[in-house]
Amino acid sequence: MLTVLTSSSPLGHPKPKHRLTVEAAFRSVVQDALARIETNARGMRASGDPEHLHQLRVGLRRLRSALRAFHGILEERDTRQLRRSLRKLSRKLGRARDWDVLVERLESAKASTHLLLKARVQRDEARAAAKEVIASKKFARALVAARAIAPRQSDQSMAEFAGAALARAHRKLMKQARSVDWQDPAQRHAVRIRLKRLRYSCEFFAPAFDPRRSAAYVGGLKALQEILGELNDIAVGRGHLPEFAASAEEAALVAKLAPAWARFAKRSAFWQ
């Protein structure tokens, strides 16, 4: 049975708080992301389980987020091309994930046989293309480049470095969400991207802070992210299959957004 490596898998355990350095935290995060990517890439080659692709893409996002969150101790020339390569790879794999999710939704909704067959054909083609991506030299080179990154030693404590990084990510999220129209899929998606970046950064830097406060804050992020994720799946599904409709579900989710955001916006930052 193939392992699907997720965020709950026993990898990258942080060092005790008093010994944690910024450089050590970066290495731990990168090792965890690479292990997730490589394990689930192997799973994709040998299995049709869509969770492998999902977790591989999570690993790629976490790796990209780490390069962003820890940029203060990284050489720009070492990471510029890697960030670009990871972004391109993620986009190519994203199409296969979109069709996996759409087929699952259609099956749950007991869609017509015609619509299901049409979606499954597209899903199978997208999966084949995704396997070509992970077998490519570009994919292999990106992982080698990620493993070779050598962070500089920081003159800040972990808490100081983390506090500045988290404040920056939080500020960008709040700016993106200012005057957002929750009815607009593109605006929702932009907020969702910022939200995920903040969540990953919170998880990267949580060992430097009170675990109860950080866990509660991340829990709030996850709750909001789930609503935005469901809405994004609906919007993407409609874009791929115009026949796909989920208006009642979409309306109910949109109705939850404003109060969910208001609750999150009131949360105190655990890094302050």
Query: Tell me: the pLDDT tens digits for 122-175?
Result: 999 999 999 999 999 999 999 999 999 999 999 999 999 999 999 999 999 999
Residue 4 has pLDDT above 70, yes or no: no
Mean pLDDT of the region 196-208: 96
**Angle made by CA atoms 53, 84, 144, in degrees to the nearest 5:** 70
Where do we find the tokens 């009642």?
A: 248
Q: How confident is the model at residue 9 (pLDDT cuts 50, 70, 90)?
A: very low
Rounded Cα–Cα distance for residues 55 and 174 (Å): 27
Supply 25's token pair: 């935290």
pLDDT of residue 6: 59
Rounded Cα–Cα distance for residues 173 and 151 (Å): 26
Residue 77 has pLDDT above 50, yes or no: yes
Report the share of the chain in percent with pLDDT over 70: 92
Examine domains 14-155 and 156-272 and report if their fold is the same.
yes
Domain boundaries, the chain: 14-155, 156-272
**What is the second-level CATH architecture of the domain 14-155?**
Alpha solenoid (1.40)
Supply 119's token pair: 């979606």
Q: pTM above 0.75?
A: yes
Rounded Cα–Cα distance for residues 35 and 40 (Å): 8
Report the share of the chain in percent with pLDDT over 90: 86
Q: In this structure, which amino acid lies at residue 67?
A: L
CATH number for the segment(s) 156-272: 1.40.20.10
